[in-house]
Amino acid sequence: MKRKHILQILILICLAVFSFEVDAQTTWFQTFQDADLMLSGVDFNNSGGALLFNHPSGIASDGTHFILCDRFNNRVLIWNNLPTKWDNQPDIVLGQTDMIGNNSGSGMDQLNFPGNVSVGSNGKLVIADTDNDRILIWNTFPIQNGQPADIEIYFPAFSTSHPVDGWPWGVYTDGTKLSATSTIGSKIFFWSSMPSKNNQPPDYTIALPDFGTPRTISSDGATYFFVGDHNSKVNAPLAGTFFWNSYPTQENQPYDFYGDGWIKGVKLPDGKLIAGGLLDVEIWNQFPTASTQFPNLTLQNNYYKNGDGVDVIYAGGRLYVNNYNGNNVQVYNSVPTSSSTLPDFALGSPSIETNTLDSINYIQNPTLATDGKILIASSDMMRKFWIWKTVNPQSGQAPDVKIPLSKFNLDFQPRDNALYNNKFVLGGDNIVVVWNSAPINGETPDQVFQNNIGSFPLQEVKGISLDSTFFYVSDRDGKIGIWKGIPADANTDPFLILNFPTYHSLTLSHSDGIYFTSTNMEGPSAIINIFKVSDLLNGNILPYKSITPADFPALNLPR
């Protein structure tokens, strides 16, 4: 599904989270209604400053400049000289008019969730503007803040496939030719020379059956070319990387070999390959040309926390390693020769241990719940939850309580939560945790269910809901267990089980006591199902209403 549809679902579900059981006359939400405050950040349209990165997703250099995609801040930062200290300030920002703003946009001078950047030796700069489904090209190297791009290549303008090609994540140019991934569409596009007009279609395409969601491109334009794929079909569901032993020049040219693990990297002058991966940085003493050649050295440190932003560049004798979830760039003053070598500094952080987003109480992947008195946010990525003891905080206000699940000797990813009548429930993986009173001071949970509740298996819990009638647990693979209240013990069977065998991505759910909503996120079965709680009580398991992405924004219901 296109990302904009996924976001629409998430936005609608998040709105539903705030609709606790209320009087029918209460004012309902309006489409495109402005928010009143912003938590998990500094403030609206405020990045916090030039060095407060929010998930840097890609880096590049022409040997003189250093360039960084600051993804969630919707900007690309440029240093006119290679950084040599953690607090070297960038000189230029693209996508914004200054170093503070971080709103997204679709103008030629704006960005929306930029993924990767590449620069040629002739100064041509290309950015994968991911959420705008386009790549942007500057014909000369930018010299001022907010400088607009010269050329836009909007993928849907020439796409003939379904789903429509888009969401470009990776891009490569040497200044004379261009390649880019179409993550939605499972393709790699190639231009034999740099495009000279807007929406110029590619000269040839590689679309192979083994591609899942191709992401990043690594190349020198001649002797190597490899593409990281987050959802490769070779050893699904493992991520992997497709290698060509030279730059591809033909339509659907087969790859030469494949390796497990998504990496992005660079060939050093001495022939070594250094690549960043999801968990570590890998070094081959000779550039691999077959899948049987494995890294000679692996760099690991406790502060390397990557994810969707694997990237490495070598410039000025230094190794720059992108650190996506660490929100900095780890820098080695020379190429390490020992696996235990720590970075010399981290660009954007005063120490290699510091994640600067902690200073603004940033929450990755927040899921929200309120009962009209308190506000709770949980994070699957961070395995924590946060509590504001009032529902009227100020923008940027720190939570009153921060609680890591490790405090309770729990280790799982809480995918969803529910708060009703002061009871709080978290669910994720194969675990459901219950507090009979909201743990506003970090109290121990009252119940922990693991693997099953009665006859209902807990395999991959994605949705949790609670109201005055029912307790609901949604498992990713199409089943929803419904109990009359929170189960007394692990032997209590559900009152109802809803079974959707064609759904394979059930996710967030919610109930306001009148309607229960359940979302299936991906594929041809993407849908929001809405059930009347009164129907479920009477054993009617058919949805009252179903909404597909084409129906948005038709979710608002009569109260």
Q: Do 268 and 367 fall within a single domain?
A: no
Structural domains of the chain, count: 2
Residue 524: its pLDDT value, please?
63
- What is the reported pTM? 0.90
Residue 7: its pLDDT value, please?
34
Q: Do 74 and 171 fall within a single domain?
A: yes
DSSP secondary structure string for all residues of 105-143: --STT--SSEEEEEE-TTS-EEEEEGGGTEEEEESS---
Residue 343 is classified by DSSP as P
**Helix (H, G, I), strand (E, B), or coil: what is residue 21?**
coil
* Sheet of strand 240-244, all strands in order from the earlier edge strand to the far edge: 214-219, 225-229, 240-244, 257-260
Residue 557: its pLDDT value, please?
46
Q: Do 323 and 368 fall within a single domain?
A: no
d(CA 380, CA 447): 19
Query: Is residue 73 a part of any domain in this protein?
Result: yes
Both tokens assigned to 227: 């593409």
d(CA 180, CA 175): 14
Q: Do 404 and 313 fall within a single domain?
A: no
Could you give the C-alpha distances from 328 to 46, 142, 353, 538, in angstroms and in order?
Answer: 18, 23, 10, 54
pLDDT tens digits, 198-211: 999 999 999 999 99
Given 331, 357, 383, the domain boundary residue is 357
Query: Is residue 46 a part of any domain in this protein?
Result: no
Query: Is residue 429 a part of any domain in this protein?
Result: yes
Query: Is residue 166 a part of any domain in this protein?
Result: yes
Does residue 73 contact residue 114 with C-beta atoms inside 8 Å? no
H or E element, residue 424: strand 423-428
Query: What residue numbers bound the domain in which 240 lies?
Result: 56-357
Given 302, 334, 357, the domain boundary residue is 357
Q: Do 348 and 365 fall within a single domain?
A: no
- Residues of the chain predicted below pLDDT 50: 1-26, 553-559
Given 357, 390, 406, the domain boundary residue is 357
Residue 124: its pLDDT value, please?
98
- ∠ Cα 411 416 422 (to 5°): 100
Query: Is residue 312 a part of any domain in this protein?
Result: yes
pLDDT tens digits, 110-155: 999 999 999 999 999 999 999 999 999 999 999 999 999 999 999 9
Could you give the C-alpha distances from 496 to 137, 159, 417, 514, in angstroms and in order?
Answer: 55, 45, 20, 17
Q: Do 333 and 372 fall within a single domain?
A: no
Q: Do 411 and 285 fall within a single domain?
A: no
Query: Is residue 50 a part of any domain in this protein?
Result: no
d(CA 430, CA 466): 18
Q: Do 27 and 104 fall within a single domain?
A: no
**Helix (H, G, I), strand (E, B), or coil: what is residue 15?**
helix
Q: Do 123 and 167 fall within a single domain?
A: yes
Other beta carbons less than 10 A from residue 419's beta carbon = 24
Does residue 77 contact residue 102 with C-beta atoms inside 8 Å? no
Query: Is residue 49 a part of any domain in this protein?
Result: no
Q: How many CA atoms lie within 13 A of 178 on its CB side?
A: 29
- In 3D space, the residue among 242, 227, 210, 244 whose CA is nearest the CA of residue 171 turns out to be 227
Residue 17: its pLDDT value, please?
41
Most distant CA pair in the chain: distance in Å? Answer: 73
Q: Do 233 and 369 fall within a single domain?
A: no
H or E element, residue 535: helix 533-537
Query: Is residue 457 a part of any domain in this protein?
Result: yes
Q: Do 348 and 408 fall within a single domain?
A: no
Q: Do 9 and 31 fall within a single domain?
A: yes
Residue 28: its pLDDT value, please?
66
- CATH code of 265's domain: 2.120.10.30
